[in-house]
Amino acid sequence: MSGKELMYVQEAFDTNWIAPLGPNVDAFEKDIANYLGVSDAVAVSSGTAAIHLALSLLDVKQGDTVFCSTLTFVASANPILYQGAKPIFIDSELSTWNMSPIALKNAFEDAYKIGKLPKAVIVVHLYGQNAKMDEIVSLCNQYDVPIIEDAAESLGSTYKGIVSGTIGKLGVFSFNGNKIITTSGGGMLISNDPELMKKARFLATQAKDPAPHYQHSTLGFNYRMSNILAGIGRAQLEVLEERINARRMIFEKYQQELGLIPGIEFMPELYETTSNRWLTALTINEQETGASVQMIINSLAKENIEARPVWKPLHLQPLFEGATYYTHSHGQSVSEYLFSTGLCLPSGSNMKEEDQTRVIRCLKESLKISV
């Protein structure tokens, strides 16, 4: 917490705005929209809810297909199933770890041949790093397919001077407890399309028709953010730049201390982009280091240090068994390579220097490197 959250929460209590919606929600939406440079933002109960709303707004329904990054958390794709649609997963590429334009091109070409283009493309900006949006936007424009940017992990990152999440038709952010700023639980849907945002608010508040009684002609959702949680978000947003600077400094220290060890490669930062470095992620070459990812995780756990593998690709998840998957190139699944070799290190914004030094020391010891 930044220390200012209680002021906004107390204001909500003092004015008796406890239920969902209220002045904090309105102000948080306005503050986010201003920060991102978009016309409007709708505060919702989670990032997952925001993706679900985005798919609903784009009329994704039973029998439709949606292209989606495979190297991501399951929440990126679950809403596709909510709509009765079919996910088609797209591999990563090594310079961003994000959606491969090559794999996306192949997926589009096949979809065009059979006359079944996707209703949307969900592009994930993994661990704060932007995908290759110029190439992805060009492909999606060629086939006239809208982009949903899953920027849940990349708030504050930039792509060629443009804020992450604002390039596609719709952008999605998460304020879950583990994100760079949090509302405890919550999310945000953003767009420059006023009609879409008007409809998003309608759908997110149970789709109540403009009638003096409770009348509903459209299926809606109970997805709006609480006025209490929005108060937390207002205070958190005020320190976002501090959080980004802290995360980037943590990443840089890890890179300085570990980057020259043979067999260790850090998640790259694409030219002309800035990552918020939400998580410090790297790959471990077992042949060069003599240690597997799991060996290192186990070694750190013995010192009460939590490290994790990178996300398990969605095309490998039992939930999506049998889903179509396009690899980066023939015989090369980049997402599977990153899953088998990837490691996420402790990266919290409030991480103390002595704690990070201890992580580095323990990691070097697990690799049998003198410290």
Q: Are residue 326 and residue 201 in the same domain, yes or no?
A: no
Output DSSP code: residue 91. Answer: -
For 158, residues 6+ apart whose C-beta sits below 8 A from its C-beta are 130, 164, 273, 274
Q: Are residue 258 and residue 296 in the same domain, yes or no?
A: yes
Per DSSP, the three-state class of 298 is helix
DSSP H or E stretch at residue 345: strand 342-345
Residue type, position 331, single letter:
G
| Residue 371 pLDDT exceeds 70 | no
Q: Are residue 161 and residue 255 in the same domain, yes or no?
A: no
Residue 21: the pLDDT is 86
Residue 18: the pLDDT is 86
Q: In which band, very low, low, confident or very high, does the pLDDT at 365 lie, cut at 50, 70 and 90? A: very high
Q: Are residue 230 and residue 265 in the same domain, yes or no?
A: no
Q: What is the pLDDT of residues 279-301, one digit of tens each?
A: 999 999 999 999 999 999 999 99
Chosen domain end from 171, 202, 237 = 237
- Once rounded to an integer, what is the mean pLDDT over residues 343-358? 96
Chosen domain end from 195, 215, 237 = 237
In the chain, the number of structural domains is 2
In a domain, 371, yes or no: no
CATH number for the domain including 99?
3.40.640.10
- Tell me the longest C-alpha to C-alpha distance in the chain: 74
Q: What is the pLDDT of residues 319-334, one digit of tens each?
A: 999 999 999 998 899 9
In a domain, 152, yes or no: yes
In a domain, 145, yes or no: yes
**Cα–Cα distance between 172 and 155 in angstroms, integer?**
9
Residue 370: the pLDDT is 58
Q: Are residue 175 and residue 300 in the same domain, yes or no?
A: no
Residue 20: the pLDDT is 80
Q: Are residue 134 and residue 260 in the same domain, yes or no?
A: no
Q: How far is CA 99 from CA 87, 256, 257, in A?
A: 14, 28, 29
Task: Share the mean pLDDT of the chain.
Answer: 96
In a domain, 341, yes or no: yes
Chosen domain end from 237, 263, 278 = 237
In a domain, 264, yes or no: yes
Q: What is the pLDDT of residues 86-141, one digit of tens each?
A: 999 999 999 999 999 999 999 999 999 999 999 999 999 999 999 999 999 999 99
Q: What is the pLDDT of residues 269-280, one digit of tens each?
A: 999 999 999 999
Q: Are residue 17 and residue 87 in the same domain, yes or no?
A: yes
Residue pair 121/97 in contact (Cβ under 8 Å)? The answer is no
- Once rounded to an integer, what is the mean pLDDT over residues 17-29? 91
Positions marked active-site: 179
- Once rounded to an integer, what is the mean pLDDT over residues 199-207? 94
In a domain, 206, yes or no: yes
Residue pair 284/341 in contact (Cβ under 8 Å)? The answer is yes
Range of the domain at 138: 5-237
In a domain, 355, yes or no: yes
Q: Are residue 164 and residue 287 in the same domain, yes or no?
A: no
| Residue 2 pLDDT exceeds 90 | no
Q: Are residue 207 and residue 252 in the same domain, yes or no?
A: no
Q: Are residue 50 and residue 195 in the same domain, yes or no?
A: yes
- Once rounded to an integer, what is the mean pLDDT over residues 156-170? 97
Q: What is the pLDDT of residues 48-90, one digit of tens each?
A: 999 999 999 999 999 999 999 999 999 999 999 999 999 999 9
Q: What is the 3-state secondary structure (H, E, C) of 33-63?
A: HHHHCCCEEEEECCHHHHHHHHHHHCCCCCC
In a domain, 175, yes or no: yes
Residue 250: the pLDDT is 98
Q: Are residue 141 and residue 289 in the same domain, yes or no?
A: no
**Cα–Cα distance between 297 and 270 in angstroms, integer?**
27
Q: Are residue 79 and residue 122 in the same domain, yes or no?
A: yes
Residue 232: the pLDDT is 95
The pTM score is: 0.95
